[in-house]
Structure formats: C-alpha cells, structure tokens
Amino acid sequence: MSSIATVFFLERPVDNLDWVIYILVSTLLLVVVGRLLFSNNYEALINIERFQEINDNQALFGLIFQLSFAVLTGTILMDYLVSDYDYIFHTPALKVLAAAVLILIFFGIRSVLGTVAAYAFGISHDRNLNLKTTNYFRVYSVAILWIAVLLFYFTGITKPAILVVLTIFLILIRVFTYHYLFKNQPEKQSKIWYYNILYLCALEILPLLVLFKFLNLW
C-alpha cells in the first residue's frame, strides 16, 4: 500500500503509513454503510429540509458518522498525542483508537450535560430535531475530516495550515448547526438568546473543561 500511495503522493515520504490508508478505507466503508441505510433518501443530504422528513435509521446513521468522526479526528491528532503511554498504545492504530474512545466519551458527557442544562434552564428542545440536524451536518464534518487526513499525511502541505483550515471549517459547520437548531426550535423559550447562550455553554464549554481536567489527571 505504501508503494501505491507513493505513486499518487510524491511530496512527502509515506513509509509506515499503511495504518492511515486502512483507517481511510475503513471509514469510507462506514460511509458506504450509511449510504445503504439511506439508499432511497441519500439525495436528502443536499437539502436539510428534506432530511428532516426522514425517520428511518436516523439513530444508526448518526452512530456510524459519529464513530467515523471520532476515528478521523483521532487520526489527524495522532502526531500530537503524548508519548507517556506508548508502552500500552505502542502502535499508531492503538493511539488512534484510544483518542477515538476519548472523543466518544466527550460526546457522551456533552449529551448528558446538554440534557441536564435543558432541564435546569427549563428549555424544551426537540430531541428529534436535534438528532436529525446533528446527523445532517456531521456528514459534512466527516467528509472534510476525511479529506484533511488524506492531505495531512500524504501531501507536502504544511500540517499546521491543514489544521487551521480544518478547524475553521469545523467551527463554521458547528455554527450552522446551532443556527439551524435555535432558529427551528418549536418552543418560544428555546429561541430566547439568553437561554441559548446558557445552553450552549453547558453543551460546548463544560464538556471541554471536564475533558481537559480528565486529561490533566491522567
């Protein structure tokens, strides 16, 4: 596989990067599974209003793309992970797996805190709308991450530049996600900016603080 990669990506040595190709192929296969789940409705991915009308397999569809998101994020961050536990995670693939598990834990914490925050602030958010909107925009995040991983490991583009551009795109997608959610929530209170700021802090900032504290303790 290294020789195949060398034919197409000459700017950067690709020795010992077979694991990256395996991850790219594996995540692409997961996307194919998602494509099969939505075989009759895949065109809805270019129209969020159409996507909102689909009820079949939304939970499984979201799980597939959330897993792909976690694995691809772990892949692109692998070079920046600490080496303190290399005696356990002694291969890049194991490091990526560990990072993906942490990211999935972060998603779980964020989900719990979001539920608690909504209850504490008395905000009634439509869970079905949240799930479908998150699924819709997560597809685009995974596509961008997949391309970023490919460029990160197999081209001569500087890694910091790729990370900066990737971060900008992911932030923009997140902004579009929340803009759509806050705009289309059915309850009046859910559209009040004050409550949405509190809810956003609980959903985005608190989980990051918890994860940061956990990593420090680890």
- Name the residue type at position 116: V
For residue 195, pLDDT over 80 is answered with: no
pLDDT in tens, 91-141: 888 888 888 888 888 888 777 776 776 676 666 666 788 888 888 899 899
Q: How many residues does the chain have?
A: 218
pLDDT number for residue 170: 93
Compute the distance between CA of residue 159 and CA of residue 163 in angstroms, rounded to an integer.
6
With tokens 């897993």, the residue in question is: 67
Q: What are the residues whose beta carbons fall under 8 Å from the beta carbon of 81, sequence distance 6 or more?
A: 95, 98, 99
Q: Output the six-digit token pair for 218.
A: 């680890």
- Name the residue type at position 52: Q
Q: How many CB atoms lie within 10 A of CB 193?
A: 9
Q: If pLDDT is split at 50, 70 and 90, which confidence band does 86 have?
A: low
Q: Output the six-digit token pair for 115.
A: 């539920």
Domain ranges (residues) in the chain: 2-217
pLDDT number for residue 145: 95
pLDDT number for residue 134: 87
**Degrees, nearest 5: CA angle 154-23-1:** 55
DSSP-derived 3-state class of residue 36: helix
- Report yes or no: 70 and 103 within 8 Å, Cβ to Cβ: yes
pLDDT number for residue 164: 94
- Looking at the chain, the whole-number percentage of residues with pLDDT higher than 70 is 65
pLDDT in tens, 1-54: 444 455 445 455 555 788 899 999 999 998 888 777 766 666 667 788 888 887
pLDDT in tens, 135-171: 889 989 999 999 999 999 888 889 899 999 999 999 9
